[in-house]
Amino acid sequence: MTKLSESEISRMHPETMALSYGFDPWLSEGAVKPPVFLTSTFAFKHAADGKRFFAWAHGEGSPPPRHEMGLIYSRINNPNLEIFEARVALWEKMQDAYSFSSGMAAIATTLLATHNPGDEMIVCAPVYGGTDALIHHFLKRNGITAHFVPAGFEAPDLVEPLINSRTRSIFIESPANPNNRLTDIGRMKELALRHAPIPAGQQSSRILVMVDNTMAGPVFAQPAKVGADIVLYSATKFIGGHSDVVGGVALANDPAILTAIAQHRAMLGGMPNAHTAWLLTRSLETLKIRAEAQQRNAVEVAAFLEQHPKVRKVCYIGLLKPEDPEYPIYCKQHTGPGSLISFYIQGGEQEAFAFLDHLKIFKLAVSLGSTESLAQHPAAMTHSGLTPEDKLLGGISDDLVRLSIGIENHEDLIWDLNQALAQV
C-alpha cells in the first residue's frame, strides 16, 4: 500500500497521509485515486474463503487486521469505506473508525452498542437538537436514563454527584452546540476512572467518556489525546466540508468497543454507500487547508462582532482570555479556535430574524463547517425541539444567532454582517 514503514507513517502528519494511506494503486489498475467500488457483493475465490471471512466478521478465530479481513458484502465492508475510515482515524491517532450514513446514525449506533436497558448516562448540555431528542425520547423509551448538566468549566463538579453504579457514559460536545462552552474532557476521564476503575479483563465495567467533536473538527481538537474513549463526528460538517454529502464517524481504541459498533452497524444498516465514502475521502485531502482558512476568517469576524453596538455578547473560543475559567481548557484541548461563532443580538427573535433575512453573502441555512458561510437561529431551527428548560440550560434564547464561517474573503463577510445589522 505504501513505501513508508510503520515507524515512518507514525511520524507523518495526517494531511500528508490523507493523500495515500490505506489504498494500494496496484490493486486498482494503478489508479492514483481510489475508484468508487459500486458493488453490493464481492466474489470469493473458494467456498472456504467465504466460510473464513464470515467467521472473522462474526469475531471468531484470530482474524487479521480489519482492512485485510476479506471483502464480503457492502453492508459489512467495502474498500471505499475502509479507505476513508483508515485515513480519518489518523487525525485522532486512534485505533480505528467506522463510517456511517449520517452523524445521527453514528451517534445512535454507538450509544446502542455501548448501553443496555437500566444504564444511565450523564450529558453536558446543550447538545445538537437531534442528539437531544434521541437521548430524551428514544433512549428513555428503551430504559436508558440521562442526567443533563450545563457544559462548561463547572461541569465536572456537577457530574460527580450524579455518578453511580449504573452510570455507563459521560457524553460531551465540546465546544457545545451552539453556545461554544468548553468542558474539560481530561477531568471527566479522571472522574470516570475514579468511580469505575478498570479491573484486569473487565473493560465492560468502565464509564465511557464520549465526545462529539463535530463543532471543533479534527484539525484543531483531538479529544482522544485528552481522555475520550469514543469520538464522534457528523462528517457532513468539516470532514465533508462542501455541503454535498451527509455522513458520520465513530472512532475508538478499544477493540471490544470497535467490534460492538461494527456489529451494530451491520445489524442496523447505517453504513454510508460507496460514493459517499469516496466523497468523504476526497474531502479529507483539503480538510486542513479549508479549516485554517475558515479559522482565519472567523478570528476577524469575531473581533468585528465583539465591538458592534447591536451585539450583546459573542461566544467564540478565540476570544477567551487567560483570566477566563475556560481558557485553561482551551489551551489543553485545542490548537486553534475554529470557525463557529454564536452571538446574542440586542433584542429578541424579531431582531434576530431581521438580521438573518437581510444577509446577502451568508446563506440562511443549518449545518456548519462547509466552504460557504452559513447563518441560522438555533432556538427556532436546530434546537427548536428542546424543552424550554433545556433551552435555558444551554443559553439558547431567541436573541442567539449561530454563524459558520466559510472560506470567502473576510472583508466581504464583515461587510455583509454590518449591512444586515444596520437593518435591525
User: What is the per-residue pLDDT for 354?
Assistant: 97
**Would you place residue 110 in the very low, low, confident or very high pLDDT band (cuts 50, 70, 90)?**
very high
The whole-number average pLDDT for the span 45-52 is 90
> Tens of pLDDT along 312-341?
999 999 999 999 999 999 999 999 999 999
Verify that 383 and 279 share a domain, yes or no: no
Whether residue 144 is found in the same domain as residue 177: yes
Verify that 243 and 369 share a domain, yes or no.
Answer: no
Strand partners, 230: 210, 252
pLDDT at 295: 98
Whole-number mean pLDDT of the chain? 92
Over range 285-290, report the average pLDDT: 96
Residue 367 lies in a domain: yes
CA distances from 159 to 123, 172, 195, 203, 324 (A): 9, 11, 11, 21, 21
In sequence order, which residues have a C-beta less than 8 Å from that of residue 8 and are 6 or more positions away?
A: none
Question: Is the pLDDT at 409 greater than 80, yes or no?
Answer: yes
CATH assignment at residue 417:
3.90.1150.10
Q: Identify whether 349 is part of a domain.
A: yes
Residues with catalytic function: 75, 128, 212, 237
pLDDT at position 2: 66
Shared domain check, 292 and 279: no
59 against 206, higher pLDDT: 206
Residue 202 has pLDDT above 60, yes or no: no
Could you say which of 265, 283, 301 is where a domain stops?
A: 283
Q: Which range is least confidently modeled, 35-49, 61-75, 86-100, 406-420?
A: 61-75
Question: Per the domain annotation, does 350 fall within a domain?
Answer: yes
What's the rounded mean pLDDT across residues 130-143? 95
Give 208-234 pLDDT, tens digit per residue: 999 999 999 999 999 999 999 999 999
pLDDT reported for residue 16: 79
Query: Are 291 and 157 contained in the same domain?
Result: no
Contacts of 51 (CB under 8 A, 6+ apart): none
* 3-state secondary structure (DSSP) of residue 245: coil
Are 239 and 90 in a shared domain? yes
Q: Is residue 174 part of a domain?
A: yes
Q: What is the pLDDT of residue 59?
A: 73
Q: Is the peptide bond before 117 cis (omega within 30 degrees of 0)?
A: no
The answer to whether position 84 is within a domain reads yes
pLDDT of residue 71: 86
Q: Show which of 283, 313, 331 is a domain's final residue.
A: 283
pLDDT band at 4 (very low <50, low <70, confident <90, very high): confident
Strand partners, 149: 124
**Count of the separate structural domains present in the chain:** 2
Q: Is the same domain home to 205 and 96?
A: yes
The per-residue pLDDT for 94 is 93
| Domain shared by 240 and 302, yes or no | no
SS3 112: helix
Same domain, 190 and 335: no
For residue 240, being part of any structural domain is answered with yes
Dihedral sign, Cα of residue 332, residue 335, residue 336, residue 340: negative
What is the value of pTM for the model shown?
Answer: 0.91
If asked whether residues 90 and 150 sit together in one domain, one would say yes
pLDDT tops 70 at residue 203: no
Could you give phi then psi for residue 302, rounded to 5 degrees? -65, -40
Q: Return the pLDDT at 180.
A: 96
Closest listed residue to residue 37, CA positions, set 72, 69, 65, 89: 72
With pLDDT > 90 as the criterion, what percentage of the chain qualifies? 79
CB 253 within 8 A of CB 189: no
One domain for residues 249 and 321: no
The predicted structure's pLDDT at residue 11: 81
What is the reported pLDDT for 316?
Answer: 98
Closest Cα to residue 104, out of 140, 75, 133, 143? 133
- Span 364-399, pLDDT tens digits: 999 999 999 999 999 999 999 999 998 998 899 999
User: Closest Cα partner for 185 from 216, 147, 218, 156?
Assistant: 156
Report whether 410 contacts 369 (CB < 8 A).
no
Residue 257's contacts (CB-CB under 8 Å, 6 or more residues apart) are: 113, 114, 208, 229, 230
Kindly state whether residues 225 and 89 are assigned to the same domain.
yes
What residues make up the domain containing 188? 78-283
Which of 256, 283, 310 represents a domain boundary (last residue)? 283
Strand-pair category, 340-345 with 311-315:
antiparallel
Beta-bridged to residue 147, according to DSSP, are 122
At residue 31, the pLDDT reads: 79
Tell me the percentage of the chain whose pLDDT exceeds 70.
97
